[in-house]
Chains A and B, each alone.
Chain A
């Protein structure tokens, strides 16, 4: 079954903690993306990667970090520097033929 998996589904973080959200895809896509979704707002781009070992900041990268050591994996770390991390986080990959984006099921992060 081809697709994108994200884990965990729900994540709770205490103030001052770093947490890492997992994103794995088996679609053989080169490009992967992290978005943040808040109520009443459109998706906002955090980081993206067009190829292994390379990534670029999106529109709201402050307080986040990523790595892309494998084609299949694009983990996102939410650091303690992110002042308002409570949100729904979505990972996507993009096919190179039509630039169509495909999304994972999301991770809901709540700061306690």
Chain B
């Protein structure tokens, strides 16, 4: 059974710092991996989607990488800003069921 883990559960950094959020999954048979942002009391906003054949995707200050063989993905945020404060979730699309399995998220706080 596919399981998705995100460590740490919470992270505080000073403004301007570059940071890395981690996502690991137990079964490398995935179709896609998607990173989301969630603000308190709101829905999820899609940030980046990496297909299984890709190694990374970039959007602005965000870069996500995928290493299927080791069951890992990272989300790199450059030059963090207070507006980046939110919970970041990763989800993998299981290639057997085509369902997305979600991690519990990393709650990020960027201090001004």
Chain A residues close to B by CB (< 8 Å): 4, 6, 35, 40-43, 45, 48, 58, 88, 90, 92, 98-106, 108
In the assembled complex, B46 has its CB within 8 A of some CB on chain A: yes
Q: Is the CB of A100 within 8 A of B34?
A: yes
Q: How far is the CB of B67 from chain A (nearest CB, A)?
A: 20
Binding site for A on B (CB under 8 A): 4, 31-32, 34, 36, 41-46, 49, 51, 89, 91, 93, 98-105
Smallest Cβ-Cβ distance to A98: which chain B residue: B49
Which of A88, A98, A101, A106: most chain B Cβ within 10 A? A101
Whole-angstrom distance between the alpha carbons of A43 and B99 in the complex?
12
Residues of B within 8 A of A58 (CB): 99
Can you name the residue of chain A whose Cβ is closest to the Cβ of B100? A101
- 7 nearest CB pairs, A to B: A42-B102, A103-B44, A103-B43, A43-B102, A105-B43, A42-B104, A100-B49
Closest chain B CB from A17 CB (angstroms): 23
B78 to chain A, nearest CB (A): 23
Known: A42-B105, A99-B31. 19 other contacts (CB 8 A): A4-B43, A42-B101, A42-B102, A43-B102, A45-B99, A48-B99, A58-B99, A88-B41, A90-B44, A99-B93, A100-B32, A100-B46, A100-B49, A101-B34, A103-B43, A103-B45, A105-B42, A105-B43, A106-B41
Q: Is the CB of A41 within 8 A of B104?
A: yes
Quick one: closest B residue to A44, CB to CB? B102
Can you list 20 A-B pairs, Cβ within 8 angstroms, ordered by A?
A6-B43, A42-B4, A42-B105, A43-B89, A43-B102, A45-B99, A88-B41, A90-B43, A90-B44, A99-B31, A99-B32, A99-B98, A100-B32, A100-B46, A100-B49, A101-B44, A103-B44, A104-B43, A106-B41, A106-B43
Say how far B50's CB is from chain A's closest CB, in angstroms: 10
Q: How far is the CB of A16 from chain B (nearest CB, A)?
A: 27
Closest to B45 in A: A103
